[in-house]
Amino acid sequence: MLYREAGDFKTSYAADNQTFPIRFDRYGYYLVLAFAFLVMPMVISDYWANSIVIPFLIYAIAALGLNILIGYCGQLSLGTGAFMAVGAYACYKLMVAMPGLNIVFVVVLAGLVTAAVGTLFGLPSLRIKGFYLAVATLAAQFFLIWLFTRTPWFFNYSSTGMISAPTRTLFGYPVTGPSASAVSVYLVCLSFLVVMAWLARNLTRGTIGRKWMAIRDMDIAAEIIGVNPMRAKLSAFAVSSFLIGVSGALFFAVYLGAAEAGEAFGIDKSFLVLFMVIVGGLGSILGAFLGAAFLIVGPVLLKMLLVNQFDWSSDLAAHLEVMIIGALILAFLIIEPHGLAALWRTIKEKLRLWPFPH
């Protein structure tokens, strides 16, 4: 009887439109935020931060971005890895060129650069759809990675061909480079994720979001009722690439510390983020979180179980993991195309009626 909306009447349209219309959800959300910002930094170990929590935070931003493009606007992209690379390399070049610039601005600027590149590669979407577009984004994936690995300017002519992040501080604490502590990295990533999710939620709840969804559901009808398809699609590409670029910048600068385009941002990254979106739920902000959590935590747990517990070779565990991921994608698409987020909704609906289901 705890979880219910009865008696929780709305007296204004603003109250009816809010993100968590049910009081219980709202408090739950504040609780999670407080826990993430106040409790986690105290208790988190370096191992957990580096192997699970920080990758989760960063991938969740990328999944949010891709979900805007695929889940909200219906434009399939397989170029996520390359766009993350754009964010990473833009971040690197900016860090090196302007050592005095605050890292937060650097990351945001890197996102903006990625937005520009993403919009450029989104131009074909004005003429082509579906898997045709997927192939066009593959062009972005392979071309950009080639460009980053072959053009020495991008990695400042370093002999290894890698880019590595110099140390930058925030409020006096180093957040990039070898001396950055796991907790400060965690807090930076968390803050970015919260802000990005807030932006994504705002954009998807209003006019722009409805334009995207209209294009997704029926592009011709959308145009006839007054949606400018060019602006809708390109803005989706821009916003999506911005988020993906931010995630790429964080992935490189605060998480990896050093990266090489082909290795860190290959096509397998594109698929990984796509799978997060599918498993989490197409067209759902919450889904991006759930999908990223699932596909980051799942493999780690599987590996812990098989390799550490049962002494399997890590190769074997990796093969099984690939197979399981494939099977999960199929299962989700067949059973619940709206992913974990929809399962969550169903559970809540059941809860709302509990204990009187009829």
Partner 1 sequence: MLDTQDDGYMTADGRKIGGVAMEMRNITLRFGGVVAIKDISFDIRWGEVRAIIGPNGAGKSSMLNVISGFYHPQEGEVIYKGYKRPRMRPYEVARMGIARTFQNIALFEGMSVLDNIMTGRLNHMSSGFLSQAMWWGKAAREEEENREKVEKIIDFLEIQHIRKTPVARLPYGLKKRVELARALAAEPAILLLDEPMAGMNVEEKEDMCRFVLDVNDEFGTTIVLIEHDMGVVMDLSDRVVVMDYGKKIGDGTPDEVRNDEEVIKAYLGVAHD
Partner 2 sequence: MPDTLLFAMEAALNGLTAGIMYALVALGFVLIFKASGIFNFSQGVMALFAALTLVGFQQGQVPFAHLINAIFGTRVHHFGWNLPTLLAIPATVGVMVVFAWAVERFVLRHLVNQKPIILFMATIGLAYFLEGLGDLMWGAEVKRLDVGIPQGMSGAVDDLTFGLFGYGFYMDTLDLYAMVIAALLVAVLVLFSQYTKEGRALRAVADDHQAALSVGISLRFIWVLTWSIAGIVALVAGIMWGAKSGVQFSLSLIALKALPVLILGGFTSIPGAIVGGLIIGVGEKLFDFFMQPIVGGATENWFAYMLALVFLLFRPQGLFGEKIIERV
Stretch that binds partner 1, among 56-64, 93-101, 199-207, 346-354 (CB under 8 A): 199-207
What is the C-alpha to C-alpha distance for residues 64 and 45, in angstroms, rounded to an integer?
26
Which CB contacts under 8 angstroms, 24+ apart, belong to 19-24? 19/201, 19/205
What is the C-alpha to C-alpha distance for residues 163 and 91, in angstroms, rounded to an integer?
10
Kindly state the number of chain residues that form the binding site for partner 1, as judged by CB under 8 A: 30
Q: Is 220 in the site for partner 1 (CB under 8 A)?
A: yes
| CB proximity list for 244: less than 8 A, separation 6 or greater | 61, 62, 65, 66, 80, 83, 84, 87, 114, 118, 273
**Residue 353 carries which side chain, given as an amino acid letter?**
L
Site string for partner 1, 236-275 (x = CB under 8 A): ----------------------------------------
The answer to whether 38 and 183 have CB atoms below 8 angstroms apart is no
227 interacts with, out of partner 2, partner 1, none, CB within 5 to 8 A per kind: partner 1
Q: Is 151 exposed, middle or buried (0-12, 13-18, 19+ CB in 10 A)?
A: exposed
User: Closest approach of Cβ 203 to partner 1, in Å?
Assistant: 6
Judged by CB under 8 A, which of 7, 100, 226, 357 binds partner 1? Answer: 226
The answer to whether 252 and 94 have CB atoms below 8 angstroms apart is no
Binding residues for partner 2, rule: CB under 8 A, are: 74, 76, 124, 127-128, 130-132, 134-136, 138-139, 141-143, 145-146, 150, 220-221, 224, 267, 271, 274-275, 278, 310-313, 315-316, 319-330, 333-334, 337
Q: Is 233 in the site for partner 1 (CB under 8 A)?
A: no
Looking at the DSSP bridge assignments, the partners of residue 174 are 169
Q: Is 228 in the site for partner 1 (CB under 8 A)?
A: yes
**CA distances (Å), 149 to each of 120, 154, 161, in order?**
20, 8, 7
Judged by CB under 8 A, which of 5, 8, 46, 217 binds partner 1? Answer: 217
115 interacts with, out of partner 2, partner 1, none, CB within 5 to 8 A per kind: none
What is the C-alpha to C-alpha distance for residues 217 and 70, in angstroms, rounded to an integer?
11
| 188 vs 296 by CB, closer to partner 2 | 296
User: Closest approach of Cβ 314 to partner 2, in Å?
Assistant: 11
